[in-house]
Chains A and B, each alone.
Chain A
């Protein structure tokens, strides 16, 4: 929402001059709040008031871009506190940390392999963060260059000495890395550098108060491509700070917190680190940085990110195709269902429980459930028969029997006619599948 009547009123001259046409400044403020008047009607309003009212129209959290080209990441521009209220828009960037004191080239060369395929989706680890632990400009620059040579993904450069940072940045400036971080001690130089190279800039305070203060100072210097870090590192405190930053930005339009955020997992044990990073990813971090870099460590985290950032309004579909559950052969039973992911996964789980290797034909219903699809004419005898043909079921199994969900028993005739197969009516709920399978296929 925009500014309230009371907030606008604070910026008005409070003279009740009536020149705007409203009887009082209070009434004029309300007219502005409800969009029925324009500020231009007030001849006495200050420039400051105008600026304050203009900025209220901006989105609650600024969209900040990290990186360049095809691996560019969009951060921020969120509007909700809970995904069920609408959705979360920009998935958290997951960054793997590489120190310039380790073999940066070796760790970076494995980085591009941190991509995964599961359930027809491709998950990507998006960001590589290079940290200057050596205190040696040449070493840091070499590490940054080595990493840049191994991966084209977005980068974060962590170095709080602007002089050292500049040396390394010069080598990769066109990649538009995130510069970490401006603090109370170095912010003027950091802002200068970020401005000169057009890079986003992380801002770290000692706490929320100092962070807000620092952001205002940086904005006053004319730079707004910012990413926030409250400085907290204990899991519970980070959770609280990330929650406050998001809430104040979204609910109160608190301008200093209207930027994306970055959080750092700190645990030494990589498994603990993943769990800690998961907390920050769940609760509002725009980027999480962690050292863990093994496939088995990142796959769960990226899966959670994918799940959390789905649109709750939109049904999630699995790829419509023939799935094999277990060691299938030409005698295996065939079930069919829709490609609504939740339906499919429940059916798959129960077919697994039946311990009889089977095929599941997931029919393209645009990702909606059995009954909805049936009502919508997206799950009909003809459509299922076509899916059977497309999946080449004839050559997969010798028998000619297919199981349909009990809720759409009425489709039996139409499907038998369209496919020429014998149609078996399965249980109404997926939980009945093991019993059904035992009675019919064991």
Chain B
């Protein structure tokens, strides 16, 4: 499993401020820190308060690319902002995200095909997030079939089964894990899977412990990527260890360092 560093997000106060003040040092510092700690993609989200999301996205992409070669994950509900970012990304980026809703899929998948971007696909539609695994998988299937029709390679899709906080929707946990397993049966090659890891612990105590426990459980069920806090050392160590135990990396005594260095 790879980590998509979540920290460059306008939801965080320091990032929101940096966007307002055009203070690139703050952004670049987080880009470097996340990369050094083992992030393989960097999520870029202008946040809800940005005055001009398109301009803010462009600026974030520019300043981030000045200090890192990591691919970016452009995170916005405003597809114009995403497209503005895609135009200036130096390497193929990831679009975050699209639900199983026809007009949105059309816009996003044609954009993905044009820019060679990967896409995070949410297992939800106009009716919301389904509770059981079967309905989530059916939505995933719809997303995959639609992406395929638009000429987006299936292995460039990351299906997000949508994790809910365990203190309000405890019964979703096992359904999400089952969804992760079944998504691998959709096609060959199968789509990849991703979760927004921090959601699972929203509003709880022991957030970090819950995050890393769930990360490891999800990995055992085939999870390919997580949008998460790359600077959480315990999380990164748990992920590195799970990769060893799942025979995804070849063991050596320094395996945690190796995972972080990539």
B185 within 8 A of partner (CB): yes
Residues of A within 8 A of B233 (CB): none
Count of A residues near B, CB < 8 Å?
16
A367 to chain B, nearest CB (A): 24
Q: In chain A, residues 1-47, which have Cβ atoms closer than 8 Å to a Cβ of chain B?
A: 1, 4-7, 9, 23-24, 26-27, 29-31, 33-34
Residue of A nearest to B148 (CB): A6
In the complex, the answer to whether A29 meets B190 with C-beta atoms within 8 Å is no
Do A7 and B187 form a contact, CB below 8 Å, given A27-B134, A30-B134, A34-B182?
Answer: yes
**Which chain B residue has the least Cβ–Cβ distance from A36?**
B134
Give the chain A neighbours of B18 by CB distance below 8 A.
none
Residue B74, interface by CB 8 Å: no
Question: Is the pair B188, A1 in contact by a Cβ cutoff of 8 Å?
Answer: yes
A30 to B185, CA, bound (A): 7
Residues of A within 8 A of B144 (CB): 6
Contact with A along B132-163 (1 / 0, CB 8 A): 00110110011011001000001000000000
Given contacts A26-B142, A27-B141, A30-B141, contact A6 B186 (CB under 8 A): yes
26 contacts between A and B (CB under 8 A): A1-B185, A1-B188, A4-B185, A4-B188, A4-B190, A5-B185, A5-B187, A6-B141, A6-B148, A6-B154, A6-B186, A7-B188, A9-B141, A9-B145, A23-B138, A27-B134, A27-B138, A29-B141, A30-B137, A30-B141, A30-B182, A30-B185, A31-B134, A33-B185, A33-B186, A252-B188
Bound-state CA distance A424–B142 (Å) is 72
Chain A's nearest CB lies how many Å from the CB of B102? 14
When distances are taken between beta carbons in the complex, the residues of chain A under 8 Å from B154 are 6
Contact with A along B170-193 (1 / 0, CB 8 A): 000000000000100111101000
Chain B contacts to A: CB under 8 angstroms: 134-135, 137-138, 141-142, 144-145, 148, 154, 182, 185-188, 190
Contact B138 A26 (CB under 8 A): yes
Is B188 a contact partner of A26 (Cβ separation < 8 A)?
no
Which residues 237-264 in A have Cβ within 8 Å of B in the complex?
252
Give the Cβ gap from B6 to chain A, nearest Cβ, in Å: 30
Inter-chain CA distance A24–B100, complex, in Å, is 14
Q: CB < 8 Å: which of A5, A23, A31, A252 contacts B186?
A: A5
- A5-B186, A9-B145, A33-B185 known, 10 other contacts, Cβ within 8 Å: A1-B185, A6-B144, A6-B154, A26-B138, A27-B134, A29-B141, A30-B137, A30-B185, A31-B134, A33-B182
Assembled-state Cα–Cα distance A202/B142 (Å): 43
**Chain A nearest CB, measured from B67 CB (Å):** 40
Known A5-B141, A6-B144, A24-B138: A30·B186 in contact at CB below 8 Å: yes
Q: How far is the CB of B91 from chain A (nearest CB, A)?
A: 28
Give B198 Cβ to nearest chain A Cβ, in Å: 29
Shortest 6 CB-CB distances between A and B: which pairs? Answer: A27-B138, A6-B187, A33-B185, A26-B141, A5-B186, A4-B187
Chain A residues with Cβ below 8 Å from B148 are 6
Query: Which of chain A's residues 85-125 have a Cβ closer than 8 Å to chain B?
Result: none
Nearest CB of B to A38, in Å: 16
CB distance from B184 to the nearest CB of A (A): 9
* Nearest Cβ on chain B to A313's Cβ, whole angstroms: 14
A16 to chain B, nearest CB (A): 11
Q: Please measure, in the bound complex, the distance between the C-alpha atom of A409 and the C-alpha atom of B137, giving whole angstroms.
A: 59
Give Cα distance in the complex from A6 to B143, angstroms.
Answer: 11
B188 cross-chain contacts in A, Cβ below 8 A? 1, 4, 7, 252
Min distance, Cβ B227 to any Cβ of chain A, angstroms: 25
Q: Contact: A26 with B185, CB < 8 Å?
A: no
* Inter-chain contacts of A23 with B (CB < 8 A): 138
CA distance in complex: A27, B135 (Å):
8
Residue of A nearest to B141 (CB): A26
Inter-chain CA distance A4–B145, complex, in Å, is 12
CB distance from A85 to the nearest CB of B (A): 10
Chain B, residue nearest A24 (CB): B138
Q: How many angstroms from the CA of A1 to the CA of B188 in the assembled complex?
A: 10
Report the minimum CB–CB distance from B222 to chain A (whole Å): 13
Across the interface, do B187 and A30 meet the contact criterion of CB distance under 8 Å?
no
Q: Which residues of A contact B141 (CB under 8 A)?
A: 5-6, 9, 26-27, 29-30
Q: How far is the CB of A220 from chain B (nearest CB, A)?
A: 25
Query: What's the nearest-Cβ distance from chain A to residue B176, in Å?
Result: 16
**Complex interface: chain A residues within 8 A of B145 (CB):** 6, 9, 26
Bound state CA distance, A30 and B136, in angstroms? 11
Q: List A contacts of B186 (CB < 8 A).
A: 4-6, 30, 33
Kindly name the residue among B141, B142, B187, B190 whose own CB sees the greatest number of chain A CB atoms within 10 A.
Answer: B141
Name the B residues within 8 Å of A30 (CB-CB).
Answer: 134, 137-138, 141, 182, 185-186
Bound together, the chains give a CA A299 to CA B137 distance in angstroms of 55
Measured between beta carbons, the chain A residues less than 8 angstroms from B135 are: 27
B30 to chain A, nearest CB (A): 39
Q: Which of A5, A7, A27 has the most CB of B within 10 A?
A: A5
A31 to B182, CA, bound (A): 9
Contacting residues, chain B, for A34 (C-beta < 8 A): 182, 185
A1 contacts across to B, CB distance below 8 A: 185, 188
- B136 shortest CB reach to chain A, Å: 10
Q: Which chain B residues border A26 with CB–CB below 8 Å? A: 138, 141-142, 145
The residue in chain B whose Cβ has the minimal distance to the Cβ of A6 is B187
B residues in contact with A5, CB < 8 Å: 141, 185-187
Bound-state Cα–Cα, A34 to B134, Å: 10
Give bound CA distance, A31 to B186, whole Å: 10
Q: Which residues of B contact A9 (CB under 8 A)?
A: 141, 145
Q: How far is the CA of A371 from the CA of B15 in the complex (A)?
A: 57
The CA of A7 and the CA of B144, in the complex, are separated in Å by 12
CB-nearest residue of chain A relative to B190?
A4
CB of B149, distance to nearest CB on chain A (Å): 11
A35 to B, closest residue via Cβ? B185
Question: Which of A6, A7, A24, A27: most chain B Cβ within 10 A?
Answer: A6
Chain B CB count within 10 A is highest, among A4, A24, A31, A252, for A4
Question: Nearest chain A CB to B161's CB is how many angstroms away?
Answer: 13
> Which residues of A, 307-330, contact B by the 8 Å Cβ criterion?
none
CA distance A117 to B164 in the complex (A): 65
Which residues of B have CB within 8 Å of A29? 141
Say how far B104's CB is from chain A's closest CB, in angstroms. Answer: 18
Residue of B nearest to A28 (CB): B138
Expressed in whole angstroms, the minimum distance between the Cβ of B140 and any Cβ of chain A is 8
Q: Give the Cβ gap from A68 to chain B, nearest Cβ, in Å.
A: 39
The CA of A6 and the CA of B134, in the complex, are separated in Å by 15
